Amino acid sequence: MTMNRRDFLKVSTGASGSLILAVSLPGCASVQTGFQPDTGEWKPDVWLELTRDDNIVFTLARVEMGQGTYTGLTTLIAEELDVNPARMKVKFAPVAPEYRNPLYGLQLTGASTSLATSWKPLREAGASARQMLVMAAAGVWGVDAGACTTEDGRVVHPNGIDSLRYGQLVELADKEVIRGKVALKPRSEWKYIGRQVGRLDARAKATGKAVYGIDVDLPGMVYAVMTRSPRYGGAANDFNRNDIIGLPGVRDAFITERGVAVVANSYWQARKAQQSLQVDWDFTKAIDLSTDQVFEGYRQAATNDPGARERSEGNVDKAADRATKVIEAEYEQPYLAHATLEPMNATAWYHDGGMEVWAPTQAPDLGRIAAARHSDLSPSAITIHTTFLGGGFGRRLTQDYIEEAAAVAYQLKVPVKLVWSREEDTRHGFLRPAMLHRMKGSLNDGELTGWHHQVVGPKILDWYVRNAAPAQYPWAPKFLYDTLGRVGLMAEGIATPKDISAIEGATSYPYQVPNVSVRHTHTDPGVPITWWRSVGYSHNGFAVETFMDELAHESGEDPVQFRRKMLDAEPRHREVLDRAARLAGWDQPAPEGRARGIALFQSFGTYVAQVVEAGIEQGEIKIYKVTCSVDCGQVVNPRIVEDQIAGGILFGLTAALYGEINFDGGEVRQSNFHDYRLLQQHQAPEVIVDIVDSDAAPTGVGEPGVPPVIPALGNALFALTGERQRRLPLTA
């Protein structure tokens, strides 16, 4: 292990001076940098690898699940290195502290943070490498480095004629030392940031060559399927093993913590054998509830416990006493599945005292803990290989599918691929929690004087910390894992970040109202939950922006004007609101039979306003058009921003129209795309995405398109029918 020799790297990569990491990192870097004479490779830092023959490889530490990190982050480093991003090769990062997301102290991709957290470090890394190459060339020529320029992978002599390829300079560049800070290019000199750089992964994905987790293939590989308890929390007591092991192709069948595994020579043989499985389940610890009971429990909790005070200004009770009108509303939002098109899967191989795992995961270091838990291996004996992800949306932050593959692989001595069926994916996932919202608004002669919002439901960290806490301390002995999880929860808000998953978007209520109260009543029905594209914003967006619409209506004011007059202190909110209204022709009547609704919502630092134009055709909700204005600060790739926002809109509309996972006696009712529907091509509305030109620090775009479109559609339907829907999904 080579000591990291450059301080600037400590600064740039060691943004891993993370918020949560209480134990300091070991004194030397786990990723070897420097020049390797045998291979001719120069690694100026943990991100870049330049070779003598001009291969430039970027290590991508934020996984690619459609959101565009593969292109966006490569563009950042390429810009400063001064190389066309299309020439760079991209490889997925292994698990190492250097690749952690500095906001979480974990190597995870989520919360629309990849670009925001990479914005400075990656440009600094590119600029530093470029500077060292320039200094090396200047040394060769005996000229002033400041007079040299660069052009797409070459250093150009001050005479403008001679040049040296980066590859020719790698060995010399390694010996250069940068003193002080490296200057970043001014905005006016950018060649790639803010321009149309085509998606670097498009070719692989249009030719079928991109390797997703499910595509991993190893010599001698066998296939496993897992039969899980129909009710979450159940465990297998026994099963008809003798019937199963005689079936064609079956290699083995056994009980694991997660259910009964059937292993066969082919996927189909494993699936067929699974049909003959008879399992005796122990449901002692299993959930046994219906969706109605979940909401009944929420309502009781809401009544019994006003909840933790999360935001409080003025006195909402006094405001209500003095109001001319007090409006109350209750909103219900169901459990939601992620329905990534690539079902959960992982491939694991236990060999030579260690385990290799190939998986489409949003958190490879948590995956390593998950695999360690289900074997007698330590995390350091486990290697995680990340692949392309066929969708993530938060589902792949939870590593249950890696636990399963690891548990099975640990019993076998051959590589094993475990693939979930769509039905299993729908029924056994970790879900967006069902939530209840109680709202109370005070209007005094049309002015909103009081806003009370009670959020009722579980916290996601309760379900997540189990693997997340040990991932932060991978050297901790395994018997401490559960302790670490509990300590993580106890120290929430002190040593670990406060869990805002239930209240985000509620506490950030942007409107200037003199009396504001936001409370969270914490209640957890025991249904497994995780992050889901836009997380708490997804349900708080619906509650806040639907209630704003109700209040606008009650006060007799136009929904845009009603919001606008309370946004004097929020110019970026107001800007997107105005722009979306203008672009959508808000002042003009909607075409015959249609109506418009608007919503404004900030999430993950990004401001979004959307106008939905909808109608009802042949008994079904028809969405004609969505007009969206977005302010996400500096845009790195305009097309990816547009596509992420538009994709988020369709994701939100899918939830608004169809999204609902329901329980009956503890079992999920839905199973496949016929009863857990996705929006189809012929239902997709025209989507217009208007991006505010800004040089503010870039913020996320993967998720912020989702929250406002749900209330905007509901508000449009109210404008159309005069009936307010307070429960999702919406009906015609």
Q: Which residues bind another protein (CB under 8 A)?
A: 65-68, 198-199, 201-212, 214-215, 217, 223, 248-249, 266-269, 272, 339-343, 388-393, 419, 421-423, 639-640, 643-644, 646-651, 672-674, 678-682, 684, 686-687
- Residue 31 or residue 214: which is nearer to another protein going by CB? 214
Q: Could you tell me the smallest distance in angstroms from the CB atom of residue 590 to another protein?
A: 21
Q: Closest distance between another protein and the C-beta of residue 272, in Å?
A: 7
Question: How far out from the chain centre does Cα 358 lie?
Answer: 20
The smaller minimum CB distance to another protein, of residues 390 and 485, is found at 390
Dmax (CA) of the chain? 81
* Helix, strand, coil content of the chain in percent (nearest 5): 35, 25, 40
DSSP string, 101-161: BTTTTB----TT-HHHHHHHHHHHHHHHHHHHHHHHHHHHHTS-GGG-EEETTEEE-TTSS
707 phi/psi in degrees, rounded to 5 = -60, -45
Q: Which is nearer to another protein, 421 or 467 (CB)?
A: 421
E strands of 10-85, at which residues?
34-36, 41-43, 48-51, 56-60
CB of 2 to another protein, least distance (A): 37
Closest CB to another protein among residues 662, 672: 672
How many CB atoms are closer than 10 A to CB 285?
Answer: 12
Of 33 and 112, CB closest to another protein: 112
**Residue closer to another protein (CB basis): 334 or 648:** 648
Q: Where are the beta strands (DSSP E) in 593-633?
A: 594-603, 606-617, 620-631
Least separation, in Å, of the C-beta of 259 and another protein?
19
CA distances 11 to 93, 179, 315, 331, 557, Å, are: 19, 13, 46, 46, 52
Rounded least distance, CB 420 to another protein, Å? 10
- CB nearer to another protein: give 255 or 684: 684
> What is the closest distance, in whole angstroms, from the C-beta atom of residue 421 to another protein in the complex?
6
State in angstroms the smallest separation of the CB of 336 from another protein.
13
Q: How far is the CB of 52 from another protein (least distance, A)?
A: 28
Q: Round to whole Å and give the CA distance between 331 and 560.
A: 22
CB of 384 to another protein, least distance (A): 19
**How far is C-alpha 726 from the geometric centre of its chain's CA atoms?**
27
Is the Cβ of residue 580 or residue 649 nearer to another protein in the bound state?
Answer: 649
Q: Name the helix (H) or strand (E) containing 448.
A: strand 447-457
Residue 661 φ then ψ, to 5°:
-105, 120
Q: How far apart are CA 137 and CA 143, in angstroms?
A: 8
Shortest distance, position 394 Cβ to another protein, whole Å: 13
Eight-state DSSP code of residue 25: P
Whichever of 485 and 702 has its CB closer to another protein, that residue is: 702
Number of C-beta neighbours around residue 302 at 10 A: 21
Other CB atoms within 10 Å distance of the CB of residue 132: 24
Q: Decide the pairing of beta strands 416-419 and 222-227.
A: parallel
Going by C-alpha positions, the residue among 586, 614, 590, 621 that lies closest to residue 600 is 586
Nearer to another protein, 68 or 559 (CB): 68
